[in-house]
Structure 1
């Protein structure tokens, strides 16, 4: 089913096209200040996750972050990669390398979400 593209949806898509890290809802609201309300942003993020446009990652801080999917489709929405969250700037990024996990016999993996915490290269330079 083809969904209608609204100016609000396009504004959120444009935001994710220009970023290299994941955004939480508060950061999205700050970037789009005055263009739409919190409930509209939430509904669009939820729909984009369902449609394979974005994926949601629960950060080490307990906050949901959203990142643009690279090769997902509505029927095939998988994210078999790790995420890195900087303990200094709190930025959460998708790591490009896919990881294959071997589960014990009898277990069937659908998807996994792993967040590695530490210091990102940008913050590491400012610490030196």
Structure 2
């Protein structure tokens, strides 16, 4: 289904494109029009997730982060992003790790997707 392009969608998409990491709702709200309410931002982000443009990462801090799907694979019409994410405990940056991961499952189990998070210090913070 073709979706209508709105100013809200354009602003949120531009904020995600300009970020070098996944963004929380609060981070996105700080980047976009201050008149945009919380519900609109979440509605747009969830629609982007449904359309396969963005994927959601649930952090170990309980927050939801959203990242553009740049290297995600489309398989049989189903969106997959089988990679881990990393959250820096010092700077708070959440980023996708590029390597695709396969998880060995017991016989008879069939994986559709997974979302893994590793936390620690990113390369920038571990240098300082």
* TM-score where L is the length of structure 1: 0.92
Q: Which runs of 4+ in 1 moved over 3 A?
A: 71-74
Aligned to 2:34: 34
What is the Cα deviation at residue 51 of structure 1? 0.5
What is the Cα deviation at residue 33 of structure 1? 4.3
Residues 62, 117 of structure 1: alpha-carbon distance in 2 compared, 3 angstrom cutoff: same
Aligned to 1:90: 92
Residues 21, 62 of structure 1: alpha-carbon distance in 2 compared, 3 angstrom cutoff: same
What is the CA–CA distance in structure 2 between the aligned matches of 1:68 and 1:46, rounded to whole Å?
12
What is the CA–CA distance in structure 1 between the aligned matches of 2:84 and 2:29, rounded to whole Å?
26
Aligned to 1:121: 123
Aligned to 2:101: 99
What is the CA–CA distance in structure 1 between the aligned matches of 2:29 and 2:15, rounded to whole Å?
11
**Contact persistence 1:25–1:41 (CA under 8 A):** yes
Superposed CA offset, 1:2-42 (max 9, x none): 10111110111111111121001111111114141111001
Which residues of structure 2 form unaligned runs of 5+? Answer: none
The alignment partner of 1:77 has SS state of strand
Which residues of structure 1 form unaligned runs of 5+? Answer: none
Superposed CA offset, 1:40-82 (max 9, x none): 0010011000000100010011111100012455932101000
Structure with more of its chain in strand, by fraction: 2
Aligned to 1:109: 111
CA RMSD of aligned residues (A): 1.5
Aligned to 2:24: 24
**Contact persistence 1:84–1:118 (CA under 8 A):** yes
Aligned to 1:14: 14
Give the number of aligned pairs.
126
